[in-house]
Amino acid sequence: MNTLEYCLGVPDPVDRRAVISALSLNGLSCVGEGYDGGHFLRVVRTVQPQLAILDLALPGNVLETAAIIDQECLAALLLLEGKRSKRNVVNLNRSTFIILKLPVQEMLLNSVVEVLYMEFKRRQKMQQEISALRAKLQARTIVERAKGVIMKEFSFSEEQAYRFLQKKSMDLRLPLKEVAETIFKGNFLKKTN
Amino acid sequence: MGLTKEDVLRMAEEMNVRFIRLQFTDIFGILKNVAIPVEQLSKALEGEIQFDGSSIEGFLRIEESDMNLVPDPNTFVLFPWKPKEGAVARLICDVYNCDGTPFIGCPRGRLKKVIAEAAEMGLFMNAGPEAEFFLFHTDADGLPTLQTHDNAGYFDLTPVDLGESARRDMVLTLQEMGFEIEASHHEVAPGQHEIDFKYNDALTTADSLATFRFVIRTVAQRHGLHASFMPKPIFGINGSGMHTHQSLFKGEKNIFHDPNSPYELSEEAINYIAGLLEHAPAFTAITNPTINSYKRLVPGYEAPVYIAWSQRNRSPLVRIPARRGTGTRIELRSPDPSCNPYLALTVMLKAGLDGMKRKLNPPEPEDRNIYAMTAEERLERKIFSLPGSLEEAMKNLENDAVILDAIGDHIWERFKEAKKIECDSYRMQVHAWEVENYLSKF
């Protein structure tokens, strides 16, 4: 993982240098820096790093920025609590994010980053699987509904209805889901007109 | 879509909805929300949720403030951005008085009224808007700046264009909410974008526009950007318009098309155009309702200035796109996205219908570039200008009984009052331009 790229949002120059130099030991490179919450988001969206490191003391709404990066799975996320961070920490739900207090040992920083990145990869993969499953489930629901329509319309058995759909799909060279959708919608229009 | 209350309740449960936002707009088109927990949904669907109308601009005074929200089940949509637990959905509502009668100041109600008027003539309107907007950077406090991504120049060599990626996310989000997106592209000015969605019946289109502005803003914010629908945010470059394509249908048939007439436009279409042209000086106050709107309606930036129509030329107010058959339509080029979409569609449809009822005829179409004509030539050809300021438009509106009838007394009174305050406050302000030009001179 020595090609890992990260974006950094740390306002204090001493903290900033310390973080960059600690991470460079492990071959991580800083590919963008943000000077406030909104700017950090813009940088992360354009540079697309694997890791985002955000100091709670960064101007602007840092927690919202962190939440967006987290919710949209934009990058692995590490929050830092530096000298200037006090004002933000009060209403922070600590169970949501990993926060390291600065100054931090180089070894600790690097291993936390490593774990966070692995976690991020795992989560990314899971989300992809979830979307794929969701799409499948949706397709199946539509096919079920279309089957219902066909069974009622032609007094078919369930098996016959499915076969009918399958045949149409092959004849028209369209995915089963699309054929089912058309049938379902068509039936709906007939009902409303 | 034809959803029932039962469908909504079932869907809310299936989708694990925890909160529902009951949405409506004030008379200026600003989206308002009353959020309720899902346990209140069946009560809400019966129209039993009340709110304080006096806190909404242009609605009611304190003495008569209780109002009811009656949700339209067809507008049930899940918000794609998810909080940690449970989902949030919305329903667009009509506003009713607490005695169960429709509130005359509800913009959605006004649109429904003129749609009903068309329905009496056996007609229904399809409308397709093209809303443009700017994406600006925000500053450290999260407030919008005038800096666009295109001229920021920071990340010229990065793999991703922020504006493009934000717009792609907007399109995906809108699609998830059931929008059919027809086109999405960068516009003429730096940082300016356009997303077009498929035409639909007038009410659905107005609902979609209200939702659209809100979605675009939310997604932009999630990119560290601010999306602005201000008509002319920057002097010297194109402003943001909301060209609105419109057609009338009788059943399946587009009545604007007639293959045997000149330009293949039916008599109804010609009358409708004449109605738009006739009432344009007045309804501009509704379709272009801000002081800033009139800074867009100036020559040189593809925005219309003159009240004329044409087939090819893009300089006049009304253009007839080349499509014929069921796609025959009229494009009104003046509206801008700061308008209240419900009222804007109300006045456009009303103007067109009035043209049809009175069988008005427009002047000959103008295929020459009007900007290149002299004032005398324009006068000779009876080409007049759109109002040059909000005040002028308001005066015209005051004298146009047809358009006033469409928006109703209640909205008109409140609108007039608010716009007067807006104009006065602007007039009394000392603007940067004045300081720049006069401070050192005098």
pLDDT in tens, B152-199: 544 445 556 788 889 999 999 999 998 999 888 888 888 889 999 999
- Check residue B1 and give its pLDDT: 57
Is residue A114 domain-resident?
no
Task: Measure CB to CB from residue B165 to each of A36, A45, A188 and give the nearest one.
Answer: A45
Q: Do B224 and A40 touch (CB under 8 A)?
A: yes
Segment B387-404 mean pLDDT? 95
Per-residue pLDDT tens digits for B203-226: 999 999 999 999 999 999 999 999
Closest by Cα among A140, A141, A153 to A188: A153
Question: 3-class secondary structure for A36-96?
Answer: CHHHHHHHHHHHCCCEEEEECCCCCCHHHHHHHHHHCCCCEEEEEECCCCHHHHCCCCCCC
A92 with A170, same domain?
A: no
Q: Which residues in A lie closer than 8 A to residue B140 (C-beta atoms)? A: 35-39, 59-60
End-of-domain residue from the set A104, A123, A145: A104
A85 with A24, same domain?
A: yes
pTM, rounded to two decimals: 0.87
Is residue A85 domain-resident?
yes
DSSP summary character for residue B387: P
A103 prior amide bond cis, ω within 30: yes
Q: Do A36 and B165 touch (CB under 8 A)?
A: no
Q: Phi/psi of residue B290, each to 5°?
A: -115, 160
Contact (Cβ atoms closer than 8 angstroms) between residue A66 and residue A77: yes
Q: Do B223 and A192 touch (CB under 8 A)?
A: no
CATH code, domain carrying A93: 3.40.50.2300
Residue A42 clears pLDDT 50, i.e. is over it: yes
- Amino acid present at B235: F
DSSP summary character for residue A136: H
Q: Which residues in A lie closer than 8 A to residue B165 (C-beta atoms)? A: 45-46
Total domains in the fold of chain A: 2
Residue A184 clears pLDDT 60, i.e. is over it: yes
Contact (Cβ atoms closer than 8 angstroms) between residue B90 and residue B20: yes
Task: Measure CB to CB from residue A45 to each of B139, B141, B160 and give the nearest one.
Answer: B160
A87 with A137, same domain?
A: no
Contact (Cβ atoms closer than 8 angstroms) between residue B50 and residue B68: yes
A73 with A140, same domain?
A: no
- Supply B163's token pair: 């504006």
Q: Do A46 and B137 touch (CB under 8 A)?
A: no
Is residue A124 domain-resident?
no
Could you give the 3-state DSSP secondary structure of residue B244?
strand
pLDDT grade, residue A191 (50/70/90)? very low
Structural domain that includes position A30 = 5-104
Q: Tokens 């008027």, residue?
A: B117
Among B124, B155, B157, B161, the strongest candidate for a mutation testing the A interface, having the largest count of A CBs within 10 A, is B155
- Supply A30's token pair: 């800083």
- Check residue A71 and give its pLDDT: 85
Segment B66-73 mean pLDDT? 90
pLDDT mean across residues, chain A? 85
> Which residues of B participate in catalysis according to the annotation?
52, 130, 132, 187, 194, 243, 314, 331, 333
Q: Do A72 and B222 touch (CB under 8 A)?
A: yes
A100 with A56, same domain?
A: yes
Residue A193 clears pLDDT 80, i.e. is over it: no
Residue B296 clears pLDDT 90, i.e. is over it: yes
Closest by Cα among B65, B206, B27 to B131: B206
Ramachandran category for residue A112: left, alpha or beta (phi over 0 → left; psi -120 to 50 → alpha)? alpha
Q: Which residues in A lie closer than 8 A to residue B225 (C-beta atoms)? A: 38, 42
CA distance A103 to A7: 19
CA distance B170 to B11: 24
A164 with A99, same domain?
A: no
pLDDT mean across residues, chain B? 89
Contact (Cβ atoms closer than 8 angstroms) between residue B313 and residue B367: yes
Q: Which residues in A lie closer than 8 A to residue B222 (C-beta atoms)? A: 41, 68, 72
Q: Which residues in A lie closer than 8 A to residue B155 (C-beta atoms)? A: 32, 43, 46-47
Residue B48 clears pLDDT 90, i.e. is over it: no
Closest by Cα among A149, A173, A172 to A162: A149
Residue A186 clears pLDDT 90, i.e. is over it: no
Smallest CA–CA distance, residue A133 to chain B, in Å, is: 15
Q: Do A46 and B2 touch (CB under 8 A)?
A: no
Closest by Cα among A81, A74, A153, A56 to A120: A74
Task: Measure CB to CB from residue A38 to each of B81, B142, B166 and give the nearest one.
Answer: B142
Per-residue pLDDT tens digits for B333-361: 999 999 999 999 999 999 999 999 999 99
Q: Which helix (H) or strand (E) holds B35?
A: strand B31-37
Contact (Cβ atoms closer than 8 angstroms) between residue B132 and residue B242: yes
- Check residue B64 and give its pLDDT: 61
Q: How far is CA B53 from the centre of its chain?
A: 23
Contact (Cβ atoms closer than 8 angstroms) between residue B114 and residue B350: yes
Segment B398-415 mean pLDDT? 94
Task: Measure CB to CB from residue B137 to each of A42, A48, A71 and give the nearest one.
Answer: A42
Q: Which residues in B lie closer than 8 A to residue A47 (C-beta atoms)? A: 155, 158-160
Could you give the 3-state DSSP secondary structure of residue B187?
coil
CATH code, domain carrying A158: 1.10.10.10
A75 with A137, same domain?
A: no
Question: Measured between alpha carbons, how far is residue A110 from residues A10, A24, A61, A76, A89 in Å?
Answer: 17, 9, 26, 13, 23
Is residue A109 domain-resident?
no
Is residue A120 domain-resident?
no
- Check residue A190 and give its pLDDT: 53
Q: Do A71 and B82 touch (CB under 8 A)?
A: yes
- Check residue B285 and give its pLDDT: 96
- Check residue A187 and give its pLDDT: 61
Could you give the 3-state DSSP secondary structure of residue B299?
coil
CB contacts < 8 A (A, B): 63
Closest by Cα among B365, B261, B268, B252 to B316: B365
A143 with A185, same domain?
A: yes
A11 with A67, same domain?
A: yes
pLDDT higher for B294 or A99?
B294
Task: Measure CB to CB from residue A61 to each of B142, B159, B160 and give the nearest one.
Answer: B142
Task: Measure CB to CB from residue B162 to each of A42, A59, A188 and give the nearest one.
Answer: A42
Minimum mean pLDDT range among A178-192, B118-132, B315-329: A178-192
pLDDT grade, residue A85 (50/70/90)? low
Among A46, A72, A188, A189, the strongest candidate for a mutation testing the B interface, having the largest count of B CBs within 10 A, is A46
Smallest CA–CA distance, residue A107 to chain B, in Å, is: 31
Task: Measure CB to CB from residue B224 to each of A39, A48, A192 and give the nearest one.
Answer: A39
* CA-based nearest residue in chain B for residue A192: B2
Q: Do B162 and A45 touch (CB under 8 A)?
A: yes
- Check residue B61 and give its pLDDT: 62
CA distance A190 to B168: 35
CA distance B417 to B430: 22
Contact (Cβ atoms closer than 8 angstroms) between residue B331 and residue B318: yes
Give 3-state DSSP helix, strand, coil % of chain A, rounded to 5. 60, 10, 25
Task: Tell me if ipTM is over 0.90.
Answer: no
Would the CA dihedral through B209, A186, A131, B195 be positive or negative?
negative
Among A35, A36, A42, the strongest candidate for a mutation testing the B interface, having the largest count of B CBs within 10 A, is A42
Is residue A111 domain-resident?
no
A98 with A12, same domain?
A: yes
B interface with A, Cβ–Cβ < 8 A, is 2, 81-82, 137-142, 149, 155, 158-162, 165-166, 222-225
- Amino acid present at A167: K
A185 with A139, same domain?
A: yes
A14 with A86, same domain?
A: yes
Smallest CA–CA distance, residue B83 to chain A, in Å, is: 8
Is residue A113 domain-resident?
no
- Check residue B158 and give its pLDDT: 55
The residues near B260 (Cβ < 8 Å, ≥ 6 apart) are: none
Is residue A154 domain-resident?
yes
Segment B308-334 mean pLDDT? 87
- Check residue B242 and give its pLDDT: 95
